[in-house]
Amino acid sequence: MKKNRKIGRSLVFNVFNVLWMTLFAIYCLIPIVIMLSASFSKDEALQQYGYSIVARGFNFQAYSVVFMNVIPLLRAYGVSFVVTGGGTLLNVFLTAMIAYPLSKPHFRYKSHITVLLLITMLFSPGMVPTYILITQYLKWKNTFAVMIIPQIGTTFYIILLRTFFKEIPAEIGESAKIDGCSAFREFLTINLPLSLPALATCSILVALGYWNDWGTAYLYVDDNRMWNVQMLMINLVQEVELWKKNFGLLAGTASSDSVVMATCVLGTLPILGVFMALQKYIVSGMTVGAVKG
């Protein structure tokens, strides 16, 4: 009887869990579906009926407005891919180099450095000093450096990788040292390959940060040839709003709302596809150190 009760409770819990997660997943997907629907809807339908899950008067007018100048769009995608790809590789590698010595018990100053890193999570230098440093002293304005380097060494990712490095058995590193392996070679050939789940998690989160970063380009990039996708989309939306204010609904081609949704789709789909393909690594990496054996 007790066994049957346990089975029944487990079944009820599983059914409830599946139903709840299904409803939550649908709740999360509804905004994306509405965004896609609005980008393919006619301007008259959006003005009359508002947003809906199903597109009203299916058409590609909003995307035709976005693709009127395809060369700036392709250039912006190129900048975003360079910043996201190169920045993610450099960021994760240097972050791992910081986290690796902090995971070693014999490193004397690890507690002091950890405290300094935690302070950076609580206090910010402020926008004005940062702007002066980047523009007047470092001369990074309108360069790839300003879009990549300031995000390197985030404390959260350092702590995440440090925790994973601690989980690697110390006997592996000791055996490598007996065979004449240096500390840096041990880091490259042993610790990094064994830390792929955590590295993948950090890579995905860092890539999301680089791809969605529009504030840096807004502050430090004046040259439109260096705009990323997000900055180009913001500029396009501002132009559409200006057209709407001065001339109405773009001479009957598309509403500003549909164009805004189309720009959101173009800016979201690439990184959304990467996130969906690699989301399993986020769960495995975020639970590092949660269970002690």
Per-residue pLDDT of the chain (293 residues; tens, 9 = 90+): 655 666 667 788 888 888 999 999 899 889 889 888 988 887 777 777 778 888 887 888 888 877 877 888 889 999 999 999 999 999 999 999 999 999 888 888 888 888 888 888 888 778 888 899 999 999 999 999 999 999 998 888 998 899 888 888 888 888 888 878 888 888 888 888 888 888 888 888 899 899 989 889 989 998 888 999 888 888 877 777 776 666 554 444 455 678 778 888 888 888 777 777 777 666 665 555 554 44
Q: Please give the C-alpha separations between residue 6 and each of 2, 18, 31, 47, 293, in angstroms, as whole numbers.
A: 6, 18, 39, 55, 26
Residues 209-230 as b or e (16 or more Cβ within 10 Å = b): bbbbbbebbeebbeeeebbbbb
Can you give the pLDDT at residue 245? 67
Angstrom distance (rounded) from CA 32 to CA 211 = 18
Can you give the pLDDT at residue 3? 59
Structural domains for the chain: 70-286 (1.10.3720.10)
Can you give the pLDDT at residue 293? 44
pTM score > 0.85 for this model? Answer: no
Can you give the pLDDT at residue 23? 93
User: Are the CB atoms for 117 and 232 separated by under 8 Å?
Assistant: no
Can you give the pLDDT at residue 292? 47
Q: Please give the C-alpha separations between residue 10 and each of 4, 59, 69, 143, in angstroms, as whole numbers.
A: 10, 49, 57, 57
Question: Which has the closest alpha carbon to 151: 195, 212, 201?
Answer: 212
Can you give the pLDDT at residue 50? 78
User: Are the CB atoms for 78 and 59 separated by under 8 Å?
Assistant: no
Can you give the pLDDT at residue 82? 94
- What SS3 state is found at 260? helix
Angstrom distance (rounded) from CA 214 to CA 230 = 5
66 Cβ neighbours under 8 A, 6+ residues apart: 73, 236, 259, 262, 263, 266
User: Are the CB atoms for 80 and 211 separated by under 8 Å?
Assistant: yes
Angle at 31 between CA 28 and CA 36, to 5 degrees: 130
